Structure 1
């Protein structure tokens, strides 16, 4: 049977994927790749083998990937994209040398292409290109912006004041929660059949800040209105402007086998 490894297994997304994977295949066929093995005892208690996977230690990666059929590379969280790309390439090289048959990678949904072909893309598109050039069979899991971004919008304050204030713009969002993305990733990890695939893992319909205000109104039991204010300054808006947060796809629901979690349920953890 196929042996599957998830790197970054101690992270929020990785641990959720492992949780979903356990309901699909026996624990003996799952391997948790972690940077700090002593912090992974909870996986061992579930019968899951733990191996040290440090993107900065290339000499250890080939050994860690030995006997792995399908490897999920969860993108590095390092803040320097040059470092991230170097880390990813070490994993790709080691996977090929170790005989991994299929490499899965988590990037961003609907990556924007630069009009200037001479300029390199972002870290995710360059990682995808490196995987393609490796000759490995691949699956690109292009995740929408995590719904977590609402945590910086002052939702609790909006419930109290009756006003959700955001920076100006025609913002639309295809965002979903990690639990939905993890369920889809687990399904992709156990997919049968050969060949490479690309999944755009987004909501099937966009929502905007007016929709968010409606949900807050429902939760609060009193009106919450949305207002734009040019004085609002936060790094999240500059970050979101670099992403395609408006395009949608049915890939996520197809992999999950159910609809995406409703907006109301997705934001509840950020307002309770």
Structure 2
């Protein structure tokens, strides 16, 4: 089996590469990257590295040709239109290259009434793949727990979680657990089922007081819950013009649209995803 991973030098793509490399020969993996010079460490494993441009059909068709499994991790963007355009190019190229199967990254913010700025893309993804003639599987992630680690000092200083979440809960998964599940699905014929959609979450979700309690234990400092408004949150965290996108995600959360809990991780891996407290503790100790 031949595997190609887009975004193989990115956060999730890089983790998936490392995990897949443990399960299949390196020579069977191709890392598709935007900047080849940043992927020398991947090439040193014995994997192949190819440069791709999501908006150049020729580069995509060339990269995808003779690949059995395309692991599609979307590039980072702040609007659904850019990602939908990228997806269209990926699907068209995969069809022309006759890719065997697409394993695509989804997100739990894909409901039709979800106000998250990228919700339209995540809702479009399964529908578009379903109408294509491609064999596909989707892995939907919950929110990544990893950003809570660098955020913890600010929360200690503020003495409060400030997410505008009202009384609703959030579900999490770590990048490490997500990538392990991606690699396992990609390399297992019984899991890589056409039309199957998996949802990766820990075994429970957290209201903001519950999240604050976990963070307090990890930081060994008192952290409560005092939400700001969506507008204030967008202003506070507008670095890189990401304020609106981040606020829209917590708008979705405050409507109860990011609280999904699934046992799919257990079904894939044979054990539960890492508990939030245990994950944060392990990261703090490193």
Greater Cα offset, 214-223 or 134-143: 214-223
TM-score scaled by length of structure 1: 0.87
- Selected match of 1:174 from 149, 171, 179: 171
More helix by percentage: 2
Secondary structure at 1:62 match in 2: helix
Q: Is the 8 A contact 2:52 2:63 kept in 1?
A: yes
Q: Who is 2:237 aligned against?
A: none
Gaps spanning 5+ residues in structure 2: where?
Answer: 235-245
Greater Cα offset, 215-224 or 253-262: 215-224
Runs of 4+ aligned structure 1 residues displaced above 6 Å come to none
Instruction: Name the CA distance, whole Å, in 2 between partners of 1:207 and 1:189.
Output: 30
Greater Cα offset, 223-232 or 104-113: 223-232
Cα-to-partner distance string for 1:188-232 (whole Å, 9 max, x where unaligned): 101214533111112221112222222233234454333345598
When residues 270 and 242 of structure 1 are mapped into structure 2, their CA distance, relative to the original with a 3 A threshold, is farther
Instruction: Name the CA distance, whole Å, in 2 between partners of 1:160 and 1:87.
Output: 40
When residues 82 and 163 of structure 1 are mapped into structure 2, their CA distance, relative to the original with a 3 A threshold, is closer
Q: Is the 8 A contact 1:155 1:271 kept in 2?
A: no
TM-score scaled by length of structure 2: 0.83
Q: Who is 2:133 aligned against?
A: 135
Q: Who is 1:7 aligned against?
A: 6
Q: Is the 8 A contact 1:3 1:69 kept in 2?
A: yes
Gaps spanning 5+ residues in structure 1: where?
Answer: 116-120
Q: Who is 1:185 aligned against?
A: 182
Greater Cα offset, 131-140 or 259-268: 259-268
Instruction: Name the CA distance, whole Å, in 2 between partners of 1:162 and 1:124.
Output: 34
